[in-house]
Structure 1
Amino acid sequence: MLLAVDVGNTNVVFAVLEGRDIRTRWRITTDPRRTGDEYAVWLLQLMAIEGIERAAVTGMIVSSVVPRTRHNLEVLAGKYFGVTAVFAGERGWGIEIDVEEPATLGADRAVNAIAAHEKYGDDLIVVDFGTATTFDVVDFNGAYKGGIIAPGINLSLDALVNNTAKLPRIAIEAPTGNASVIGRNTEDQMHIGVYWGYVAMMEGLIARIRAEIGRPAKVVATGGMAILFDEHTEIFDHVDADLTLEGLAILAERMEMS
């Protein structure tokens, strides 16, 4: 089995895979100070609950945008699983990264490009809802061509609340029924601004990207908020919550890790 680890700025997702099939997954808050031993106490207990033996893990692959977590994940891999953690991109991507500074591309975005091209083909726009919301363009040959980085919706809401004296903290929710876009109270106005403002931003940017590509492009959405927005926009062709984990599995397969 393969242990795939997706380290984001907000959360770390661990998943156990058999081939490309995700058997189970767990999520923990990202904390660069968390030691390999602390990861192990948490992870091994969860594996035991699922009936997964430690010895069943024969490889570990990591996509990380938080460099400070590296050493502790290496300790986890070596000390508790007897394997060497492979960090995505260190042995190449197997796709063309056609941008001005390829080394600065986040591992999660490259991994998403690999998975999206493998699964859906054609020209693609991959939208990933994380701490930041990213828009990545992948051409029909599988080459990564560039993209957009925008503040994530939670980050935007935090900035709004933290920098205004009287606005309350609200939950991000999809509107119900035929909700008006003219709010009649402060909380409704905030919900409208955050939710529909984000939908308008996505639809506008995707329209501009498609116009620049000049060919039809499928839109693949991933990340925790994708389903929330899919309810009220027709912009997504596919919603794939496990795109990053599947990309790690594909990359590991190509490196004959599993």
Structure 2
Amino acid sequence: MILVLDAGNTNIVLGLYEGKELIADWRLSTDPIRTADEYGIQVIQLFLQNKLDPSDVEGVIISSVVPNIMYSIEHMILKYFEVKPIIVGPGVKTGINIKYDNPKEVGADRIVNAVSAHEIYKKPLIIIDFGTATTFCAVTAAGDYLGGTICPGIKISSDALFQRAAKLPRVELIKPNTVICKNTVSSMQAGIIYGYGGLVDCIVNNIKKEMNDLGEKDAFVVATGGLAKLISEEAKTIDVIDPFLTLEGLRLIYEKNREQNF
């Protein structure tokens, strides 16, 4: 079995693969002060609750955009699984050609998503990841990572409204039926959800125009992340939602680099 971990600013998402089949997935909160043992106890307990044997894990791969938790995560893997993990970063084979000014600046999660989507769809792509930040990535049919856009995530935007406006409450992220709302909570929800849908469509349409100019016609739009489904109900440019895009990308990168673990 292969254990894959994607460490984001808000959550750590874990997946367990048997061959090409995802047999379990979990989500933990990202906590920079948590120790290797604390993470280890949590992860081992997840295995046991699902009647899975941690000793069956033969390989581990990690992507992270949170450097200050990597010491704990790496040592957790070494101590509790007795495996040296592959860390997505410079020197790891991905099959993606990064066209960024400085390739080292590209978040590991964005590369992992690009690998996964390119392998699955084999066409010009725009990949949207609704995480702590929302990222838009442009990938050619040949697998060139062109770059993209980063904007504040939906929850960040919602929290900023609550924190900076004294009379506005924190609201649940659900879509009201109308844009002309008759109470403060619904008004905020409409602004966040409908507004974010418009943001997504505007950015996607502009990326499509730039890709068309490069000969990458009719880019296919793939969305992932916890709030992808909610926003896709309003954003008209999203073609498909793939909640396991990142986990599948990690599995694919592991397969390209598995000799590092042997």
TM-score, length-normalised on structure 2? 0.94
- The corresponding residue for 1:77 is 77
8 Å Cα contact 1:20/1:250 also seen in 2 = no
**1:233 partnered with 2:235:** yes
- The corresponding residue for 2:170 is 169
Q: What is the distance in 2 between the residues matched to 1:180 and 1:71?
A: 48
**Structure 1 residues 164-198: Cα deviation after superposition (integer angstroms, max 9, x where no partner):** 110011100123xxx22112221121111101000
Shift of 1:254: 1.1
- The corresponding residue for 1:30 is 30
Describe the SS at the equivalent of 1:233: coil
Q: What is the distance in 2 between the residues matched to 1:105 and 1:96?
A: 12
Gap runs ≥5 in structure 1: none
Farther off after superposition, 18-27 or 161-170: 18-27
Shift of 1:101: 1.0
Q: What is the distance in 1 between the residues matched to 2:60 and 2:66?
A: 17
Describe the SS at the equivalent of 1:135: strand
Letter in 1 for 2:65: V
Gap runs ≥5 in structure 2: none
Q: What is the distance in 2 between the residues matched to 1:154 and 1:120?
A: 29
Shift of 1:90: 3.8
8 Å Cα contact 2:137/2:147 also seen in 1 = yes
> What pairs with 1:134-213 in structure 2 (closer than 5 Å)?
134-175=135-176, 179-213=177-211
> What pairs with 1:30-69 in structure 2 (closer than 5 Å)?
30-69=30-69
**Structure 1 residues 64-121: Cα deviation after superposition (integer angstroms, max 9, x where no partner):** 0001111111211111111101111243332110010100100000000000000011
CA RMSD in angstroms comes to 1.2
**1:109 partnered with 2:110:** yes
Shift of 1:40: 1.2
Farther off after superposition, 76-85 or 110-119: 76-85
TM-score, length-normalised on structure 1? 0.96
Q: What is the distance in 1 between the residues matched to 2:32 and 2:60?
A: 18
8 Å Cα contact 2:138/2:145 also seen in 1 = yes
Letter in 2 for 1:155: I
8 Å Cα contact 1:73/1:85 also seen in 2 = no
Shift of 1:45: 1.2
**1:126 partnered with 2:124:** no
Letter in 2 for 1:217: A
Sequence identity percentage? 43
Describe the SS at the equivalent of 1:141: coil
Write out the 4+ residue segments of structure 1 that deviate beyond 4 Å after TM superposition: none
Describe the SS at the equivalent of 1:255: helix
